[in-house]
Amino acid sequence: MNTYQVAKYHGAQNDFILIDNRNGVLSPSALPKAATAWCHRHTGIGADGLITVETASAPGADLKMRIINADGSEPEMCGNGIRCYAKFVQDEGIFTNDSMKIETLAGVLTITVESKTEYESQIRVAMGQPILGRKHIPLAGDSEDHVLNEPIQVAGGEFKMSAVSMGNPHAVIFVDDLRDIQLNELGPQFAVHPEFPKGINTEFVEVQSPNEATMVVWERGAGATMACGTGACAIGVAGVLTGRLNRNVTIHLPGGDLKIEWPNDQSDVFMTGPAAFICTAEIVLS
């Protein structure tokens, strides 16, 4: 039985366990086991995922981030997680600059710490350009077409879906009233729908104005969460492309607000939001 030093952070109440793994204290094969054990809400620390700091291999990157969901699966990216990662590496003195380039499975992303206190920072992330071609998101089929307001049958009902990848796949469903959405019923059925060969993160969105929307989310590998940063970015993109939202918007998530900017169709999507320290801990893995 080994003991590990970890920390816990949250971004808009999307919570994560973080560990400095540059010296390989957790082997690649141990990561799923550690994530499922430590993220358990009753027998572990409790979190939506485990994030590790790794030595970068991509040219120009300062560090590398890996994230393992609470169920042991590995997503391509996590918007709230990468903000927590940035605060963690500053708090631990691993990388102290306010601008950093972090390698992820979705590419090398640029992060700027805009303000900070001992316990919370406001962090802006250049999340990369959205991926909009059907087969690249991916959805079923070999088309390069965009998927906007496309009908999909789930749980005996029809929904209008707009699909966006922010390095990981999202189905954005605009609805008139979020109170009508049974997230715990619909989310799992979207996640395993044959339309999505790699699964899907599903956002249900109610638009208040061209500058403001409210969302709930069901994430692959984590279920209903308090926030999803890549999902908020996907909503910003889908909202622009379907004429519902402006290019500068505030997205209200169950755990807090994120600012999303998409300056033009060829630009990166920018996400700004909080990352907050919760605690440090010593934990075992048998």
Pairing outcome for strands 14-20 and 270-285 = unpaired
Contact between 16 and 84 under an 8 Å Cβ cutoff? The reply is yes
233 among known catalytic residues: no
Pairing outcome for strands 270-285 and 223-224 = unpaired
Residues with Cβ within 8 Å of 43's Cβ and at least 6 positions away in sequence, in order, are: 37
- With b for 16 or more beta-carbon neighbours within 10 A and e for fewer, the 88-106 pattern comes to bbbbeeebeeeebbbbbeb
d(CA 228, CA 25): 28
* Residue ranges in the chain whose pLDDT is less than 70: none
d(CA 275, CA 11): 4
pTM over 0.85: yes
What's the pLDDT at 188? 96
- Report CA 127 to chain centroid distance, whole Å: 10
Q: Which residue's structure tokens are 């802006």?
A: 124
Give me the amino acid identity at 43: T
User: Which CATH topology does 2-127+274-285 take?
Assistant: Diaminopimelate Epimerase; Chain A, domain 1 (3.10.310)
User: Which CATH topology does 134-267 take?
Assistant: Diaminopimelate Epimerase; Chain A, domain 1 (3.10.310)
- What's the count of helices (H) and strands (E) in the chain, helices before strands? 4, 16
Q: Which residue's structure tokens are 């030595």?
A: 55
Annotated domain spans of the chain: 2-127+274-285, 134-267
What's the pLDDT at 286? 84
Question: Which of 260, 191, 195 shows the shortest CA–CA distance to 219?
Answer: 191
Catalytic residue among 39, 84, 228, 233: 228
What's the pLDDT at 157? 93
Catalytic residue among 78, 84, 233, 279: 78
What's the pLDDT at 85? 98
84 among known catalytic residues: no
What's the pLDDT at 1? 78
What's the pLDDT at 57? 96
- The pLDDT tens digits for 182-196 are 999 999 999 999 999
d(CA 136, CA 143): 9
Q: Taking the CB of residue 182, how many other CB atoms lie within 10 A of it?
A: 9
